[in-house]
Amino acid sequence: MKKAVFLDRDGVINANVFNVQTGAWESPHEVDDFHMFPWAIECLSRLQDHGFQLFLVSNQPSYAKGKTSLENIEAIHQEMHAILNKNRIYFTEYFYCYHHPDGIVPGYSIGCDCRKPGTFFLNEAQKKYKLDMKSSWMIGDRDSDIICGQKAGCKTIFVQDDKTNAGRSTPDFKVNDLREAIGIISAHI
């Protein structure tokens, strides 16, 4: 059976961005704010070399909250996708949730199944690609990532970040960045 690594995006692959209006670290809202961590490509390559299928699972509620446009969100995605492909990193699928229950944009401001910690996307991937979830991992920098991964039956790695006030979840491992996460996964193959 195939194994997967489910990766949160913001704070794991690219840096969170400080929003002066909210005083919080958030997703990039325009392509100029998208900065991949310098080690991300090497880390993702290693996972690929280890035979993991890669999935991105990202909550992107900024449009629903009126903070950015869908065009900007798409441009950021395309920027990342281009960098990954140029470096021969091929995600099996990218999963994005654009909803938020407390948003302001009609149609997107709803409770949904796909927003983490909901497991909708992980369950979809499991069925579609016949993944062995016990051999699969979820990496994220918020409690919602860890809870999502646990509910779906994966091992979980929490990327600690002083900027995000997470830490109530109980991940299998805590690390400081994706490099350390890859070290843990490599040691458990």
Q: Do residues 140 and 164 touch, judged by C-beta distance below 8 A?
A: no
Distance (Å, rounded) from C-alpha 162 to C-alpha 11?
Answer: 11
Q: Which does 97 bind (CB under 5 to 8 A by kind): Mg ion, Zn ion, none?
A: Zn ion
Give the one residue of 8, 26, 143, 161 binding Mg ion; rule: CB under 5 A.
8
Q: Per rule CB under 5 A, is residue 161 in the interface with Mg ion? A: no
Positions 51 through 90 that interact with Mg ion (CB under 5 A): none
Q: Tell the smallest beta-carbon distance from residue 138 to Mg ion (Å).
A: 12
Q: What is the C-alpha separation between 76 and 142, in angstroms, rounded?
A: 21
Q: Which two tokens stand for residue 165?
A: 């006030």
Hey, what are 141's tokens?
Answer: 């920098």
Closest CB to Zn ion among residues 57, 178: 57
26 interacts with, out of Zn ion, Mg ion, none, CB within 5 to 8 A per kind = none
Residue 97 binding Zn ion, by CB under 5 A? yes
Pick the binder of Zn ion from 115, 116, 142, 155 (CB under 5 A): 115
Picked from Mg ion, Zn ion, none, the partner binding residue 114 (CB below 5 to 8 A depending on kind) is Zn ion
Of 11-19, 66-74, 98-106, 127-135, the segment contacting Zn ion by CB under 5 A is: 98-106
Q: Which of 114, 123, 135, 174 binds Zn ion (CB under 5 A)?
A: 114
* Interaction partner, residue 116 (Zn ion, Mg ion, none; CB < 5-8 Å by kind): none
Which residue, 184, 188, 179, is CA-closest to 43?
179
Decide: 39 and 177 in contact? Cβ < 8 Å.
Answer: yes
- In this structure, the number of other CB atoms found within 10 A of the CB of residue 107 comes to 9
Q: What is the number of other CB atoms lying within 10 angstroms of the CB of residue 88? A: 10
Angstrom distance (rounded) from CA 73 to CA 173? 30
Partner whose footprint covers residue 112, from Zn ion, Mg ion, none (CB < 5 to 8 Å by kind): Zn ion
Nearest distance in Å: CB 156, Mg ion: 13
Q: Number of residues interacting with Zn ion: please give it, by CB under 5 A.
A: 5
CB 53 within 8 A of CB 129: yes
User: To 10 degrees, the CA torsion angle through 39, 17, 6, 45?
Assistant: -20
Residues of this chain that interact with Zn ion (CB under 5 A) are: 97, 99, 112, 114-115
